[in-house]
Every structure is written in structure tokens, then in C-alpha cells.
Amino acid sequence: MTSTRIIIDRDFTVGPVDPRLFGSFAEHLGRCIYGGLYEPGHPTADASGFRQDVLALVQELGVTVVRYPGGNFVSGYRWEDGAGPRELRPRRREIAWTSIETNHFGTDEFIDWCRAAKVQPLLAVNLGTRGPAEAGDYAEYCNQPAGMTTLGDQRVANGHPEPHGVTLWCLGNEVDGWWQQGAKTAVEYGRIAREAAKLMTIPSGGIENSGLAHHQFIACGSSGADLPTFGAWEREVLEECYDHVHYVSLHTYYNNFKNDVPTFLASSALMADQIRKVVATCDAVQARRKSKRRIDLCFDEWNIWYHSRDQDARQKPWTIAPPLLEDVYDAADALVVGGMLISLLNHADRVRIACLAQLVNVIGPIMTRTGGPAWRQTIFHPFALTSRHGRGTALQTKILGSTYACEAGEAIPLVDAAAVATATGGVNIFILHRDLKEFSETDIDLRGFGPLAVEGWEFLHADDLTVTNREADPDRYVPQIGVGATVVENRVHVRLPPGSWSVLRLVPADLASKR
């Protein structure tokens, strides 16, 4: 048995939680689009070919924004290929993932899907094999009102008379990576990103309602914290495009190839360190430039990725929608994803947008069988619970308790937590318990709140951390209802199971009495 004390004060805030923190990502990769979002002829498909079983799970997941069309895919993508009559769209080799792309699903279909899913689109432009002019054309096609330009009128002719109103744009993807089509140096990329942003920002003057004057641009950060470009890349890029972008992107994927669960469960500490370092770099550039503008962060690729790599190596190349990156997640993965969500909440003042990569089939929280059902992977549950209960103002947490040493650090807390104050005067507390053997007797000291009562406690736990959810047993790993959490004079006591992730919901006592 271990003990932990957590101190949370209503007046010590991190910042408002941007709803876009609960985003995801859909790339033309494997079966994410074809057989995932889009499958004409599926028993649940609507007239547009959108799988309604997947749409229902996306809405249950609580996704708010979706990034598209890539990813590595976008660095070789011609957006025009995915527009117009399907029978005239070209079929091309897709270099990034050695597949064949039919282009039956493109930008217009994605926008229609976003409206059906009630999510905000985040479009990426190709700054690998293409440049600023094509990026400007893409923004014009998406957002120009009818009757003004040929590109806007092409969208109208393709069945979309109203502008798509896309305001969030990724300026390329992982351009520092040797694997990327059109990889560039930081200075090369920074200049191209700057010029693309200039061409994509249509001057206002009679078209304010189109959304064109309100773009927000995301510059590519380094592709990972372990790359030699990390840190220097962000600084050099921002020196070139600082005044034209709003966010810098971060990417990270964790794995347990070494079968070292304690280190794996500490992945969220590495994520937090990556965030702090990128924030420091952004602020250093701001200080050097004596700028009043602050650059925030967009963590637009994050997840666990390793289960499927041997399987992927055996896939036959140059096929349509092959089963790639189809990780089957287990209970340990769910705990790590829950911990990463805690890290995002604890940095909500600077991480304004985040995208779990990806959404369906491809390292996704949702799995499908082509022609068959859809189901929730283990990692679905911490994301859905955090999106549902993580809206409000993130609060600082002070954790007093035991630590352990592993490859990720010398003093990893056995208990990690984030807290979000709600609009009704309550607080929701998200807790990762990394100890795999002992319960934790945890006391939470809540200061600055009125009298509170426990509204609910859901937790994730499995004695066997290798359990998974599969088509034949899709609900083997689901949230459990906790009992026994108590509140006495705003001091909460809860007994956390070993190897668990929890959300503890507290509401004003007078509201609890009315429910």
C-alpha cells in the first residue's frame, strides 16, 4: 500500500482548455479512409458512402477537430486529384505508404463528412513536392465565395455552392524528416511556409464573411524529440515565418518494444518534457524578436505505435487501402494514452490543439471490419472520458508521493494527475496510477471551492495488461464504476487500484442533492 496527497487550488490555474485539444487525424493511409470513414455499399453507409456506425463512435469519442489528408501522404498530394466527378479522378501511386490511391474521397467529401460528424476540419497543404502557389489555390478553392474566381466556381460546380470556411491549416508535414517527400532544411521550409501563409491569407475587403481573413496557420516543428533537428529546427523555422503563423506542431509516438511496462507508463512524462522544450524555444524567439505575438502549440500527432510493424513489413505494396498500422491496443496502452491526456491538460495554456493519430483502423481508437462491424479499442475509453469531462479551466496540481526510477527518468511519480474546474463550480480530476502491484490511498486537498460532493468515479483497470478489445469480444476492457470515494470538508479520499486510470467527478454539494 502506498499513499499520495494531491493539492488543487481553484485560484491556481493553468488556463482554459481549448475544445480543440480533443482532436484526431484521418490520413489516406491503409483503411483509415477507405473501409473506415468511407465505404459505399456498407450496410450502414449513407448516400454519401459514410459509415454511420463509425460516425456514431466518432461522436461518442468526443472528437472536435480532424486533421486531413496527412501526414506523410500530404507531401506528395495533389489536392485537385480529389475534386470533381469521381469517374474523372486519377488513380495514382502513393509513394509515402507504397499504395494505390483512387482519389474517390477528397476534400469536398471530407468537408461533408466533418459536417456530418460535427467536427472542425484542419487541412494540411503540400509543402514537400509543391509550394506556396498550390497552397494558395487550395485555400481559394475551399473558401472563395461563388462568382468571384474560377477556383471558387469550380467548387460550386462540384456541388458545394457555399465556401467550406476552413480556417485551420497545417503548412506541410514533418518536412525535416529524411523519409518525407520534398524534405527541406529549416531555413528552406521556414521561407516557403511564410510565403504559403501570405498567399493563403486573402486580404479582407468585401469578403469578411467567407472566413478568409481568419486563417490560423500551423508551422511544422521537428518530427520528434529524439531527432537531431529538435530544438534548432523550431528556432530556425520561426525566425523565418514567426509573424505569419500561430502554432508550431509537435509529433510523438511511444512504444513498448522492450517490454518494460514501468518505463512505458512514464511516456507521458517524456511528452510533458517535449512540450516544455518547444514552449521555451517559441518564447526565446519571441523575446529575441521583441514580438508581442505568442506562438502556441499544436500537438497534431500523438499516440502509441508499435504493435503492427512486423505485420506491415509483410504487406504487398501497391494495393488499394491495404491493412497498414492496424495496432490492436491493450490495457497498458489505454493507461499510457490516459497519461498523455493528463500531460495535455496540464499544458492547456500553450497546447491549444491536439490530434490523436489516427481516428479509424490506422493506430486508431476505432476499429472496423470492411463490410462488417465497428468497435472501440481500449484507448477509446480514456479519450472519450477526458473529452467529455475535461472541458473548463485546467488547474495546477501539486502531487506529494512516491516516485520510481526507469529509463524515462529518475523520479517518475507513481501517481500523476490533472484537474479541470467546471462551469458549474465543480472539478473533475484525472489520475494515472503507475504502481502495478499496490493500491494507493490517495487524499486530494481541494482549496478555494465551495462544499463539494462526489458525482461519479470511473476507472480503467485490468489485472492482465495485455487484454484487448476485438470484434468477437469488443467490450472486454471498458470503464468500471468506482465506489468508496469520500469527501469530508473538501478533502477527497480515494483508493486507487494498481495500474489504473481514473476520472473523479465532483460537483457543488447543493447540486448533488438535487440530482
pLDDT of residue 310 exceeding 70: yes
Annotation marks residue 174 as catalytic: yes
User: Closest Cα partner for 226 from 274, 178, 180, 159?
Assistant: 274
* 236 three-class SS: helix
Mean pLDDT of 426-455: 96
pLDDT of residue 215: 87
Residue 425 has pLDDT above 70, yes or no: yes
Query: What is the model's pLDDT at position 290?
Result: 96
The reported pLDDT for the residue numbered 511 is 79
Mean pLDDT within 258-262:
97
Q: Which of 134, 236, 301, 458 is catalytic?
A: 301
* Residue 210 confidence (pLDDT): 41
Cβ 119 vs Cβ 65: under 8 Å: yes
DSSP state of 193: H
Q: What is the per-residue DSSP string for 341-402? A: HHHHHHTTTTEEEEEEE-SBSSS-SEEE-TTS-EEE-TTHHHHHHHHHH--SEEEEEEEEE-
**How confident is the model over 329-388, as pLDDT tens digits?**
999 999 999 999 999 999 999 999 999 999 999 999 999 999 999 999 999 999 999 999
Q: How far apart are CA 134 and CA 107, in angstroms?
A: 15
Q: pLDDT of 459-490, one tens digit each?
A: 999 999 999 999 999 999 999 999 999 999 99
**The dihedral formed by the CA atoms of 51, 110, 342 and 56, expressed in degrees to the nearest 10:** -20
Mean pLDDT over 34-46 rounds to 98
Is the pLDDT reported for residue 208 higher than 50? no
pLDDT band per the 50, 70, 90 thresholds, residue 515: low
Grid cell at residue 46? 449513407
State the chain's mean pLDDT as an integer. 95
* pLDDT tens-digit readout, 372-398: 999 999 999 999 999 999 999 999 999
Query: What's the gap between Cα 319 and its chain centre?
Result: 28
User: What does the pLDDT average to over 291-299?
Assistant: 96
Contact (Cβ atoms closer than 8 angstroms) between residue 360 and residue 367: yes
Residue tagged active-site, from 134, 174, 240, 458:
174
What confidence score (pLDDT) does residue 214 get? 75
The domains found in the chain, sorted by start residue, are 2-10+394-512 (2.60.40.1180), 18-82+119-302+340-389 (3.20.20.80)
- Alpha carbon 81 to its chain centroid, in Å, reads 27
- The contacts of residue 3 (CB under 8 Å, 6+ apart) are 401, 440, 441, 442, 443
Q: What is the C-alpha to C-alpha distance for residues 99 and 359, in angstroms, rounded to an integer?
A: 19
Whole-number pLDDT of residue 1: 77
Q: Residue 152: CB partners within 8 Å, gap ≥ 6? A: 140, 141, 143, 144, 145, 146, 163
Q: In this model, does residue 207 exceed pLDDT 80? A: no
DSSP-derived pairing of the beta strands 168-171 and 120-125: parallel
Judged against a pLDDT cut of 90, whether residue 248 lies above it is answered with yes
Over residues 109-137, the mean pLDDT reads: 97
Known catalytic residue at 80: no
- pLDDT the model gives residue 205: 34
Residue 513 is predicted with a pLDDT of 62
Question: What average pLDDT score do residues 211-238 get?
Answer: 90
Asked whether the bond before 69 is cis by omega within 30 degrees of 0, the reply is yes
pLDDT at 204 over 50: no
Q: Calculate what percentage of the chain has a pLDDT beyond 70.
A: 97
